Amino acid sequence: GQNIDQPTEMTATEGAIVQINCTYQTSGFNGLFWYQQHAGEAPTFLSYNVLDGLEEKGRFSSFLSRSKGYSYLLLKELQMKDSASYLCAVEDSNYQLIWGAGTKLIIKP
Amino acid sequence: TAGITQAPTSQILAAGRSMTLRCTQDMRHNAMYWYRQDLGLGLRLIHYSNTAGTTGKGEVPDGYSVSRANTDDFPLTLASAVPSQTSVYFCASSDSSTSGANVLTFGAGSRLTVL
């Protein structure tokens, strides 16, 4: 079956760096997405990786290793507003998105 | 403001009753989707539409139906609600006709409670 694994919850300190991991087993691969979802709100797009390597976008970076079925989202200079759930999703060979359950990130002052 | 509008925001429904969740987008996206989000689970696709006039079943379609009469609207209907359909429902759209990442834009969600 298809599976996306990511930690349920993580805690980090304001100003610090946190890495949220995502491992996947899917029927084919057409890209990996990270979305941010604040409590009670809609998910919003953060990043997309289709080739191996690191994609940097401001304080957020996303890494992909297709051979290992692994990605991480790196958040630097954490701010209180980064408290949210982070959703990992993989587009399979049928162009369907398979979603992880999300990682709830708690930022402490 | 461009985006997706969902209605109602929340609803309490008696089991056995029917309900239609409305979804309208103004971005002229060709593809639209309905997901449900439950605690501890990833988003699960209910139904989708790649273009006006066509629909397809997702991972959890039973008990739900959709229609896509035009580009902008994609209503989701529960014919006879059951308590297991208590969830938060998200409508989303994307411009899947172009190359590159198929990025989804989500509506604000509809929280449905079936008693």
Report the mean per-residue pLDDT for chain B: 94
Contacts of A31 in chain B (CB under 8 A): 101-102
The answer to whether B106 contacts chain A (CB < 8 Å) is yes
- Contact A36/A86 with Cβ under 8 angstroms? yes
Q: What is the pLDDT of residue A93?
A: 87
pLDDT computed for residue B21 by the predictor: 98
What A70-73 contacts at long range (C-beta under 8 Å, 24+ apart), as own/partner pairs, is A70/A21, A70/A22, A70/A23, A70/A24, A71/A21, A71/A22, A71/A23, A71/A24, A71/A32, A71/A34, A72/A19, A72/A20, A72/A21, A72/A22, A73/A19, A73/A20, A73/A22, A73/A34, A73/A46, A73/A47
Chain A residues within an 8 Å CB radius of B102: 31, 91, 95
Q: What is the pLDDT of residue B78?
A: 97
Mean pLDDT of B93-108: 87
Of all residues in chain B, the percent with pLDDT exceeding 90 is 88
pLDDT at A2: 85
pLDDT along chain A (109 residues), means of 10: 93 98 94 96 96 96 97 98 98 90 97
pLDDT score of A96:
87
pLDDT(B97) > 80:
no
Question: What is the least distance, in Å, from the CA of A15 to any CA of chain B?
Answer: 28
- The predicted-structure confidence for B36-68, as pLDDT tens digits, reads as follows 999 989 899 999 999 999 999 999 999 999 999
For position B98, what pLDDT does the model report? 66
Q: Other CB atoms closer than 10 Å to residue B15's CB: what's the count?
A: 13
Q: Among B67-71, B80-84, B88-92, B94-98, which stretch is predicted with the lowest mean pLDDT?
A: B94-98
Confidence (pLDDT) at B1: 62
Enumerate chain A positions whose Cβ falls within 8 A of a Cβ in B.
4, 8, 31, 33, 35, 41-45, 48, 50, 87, 89, 91, 95-102
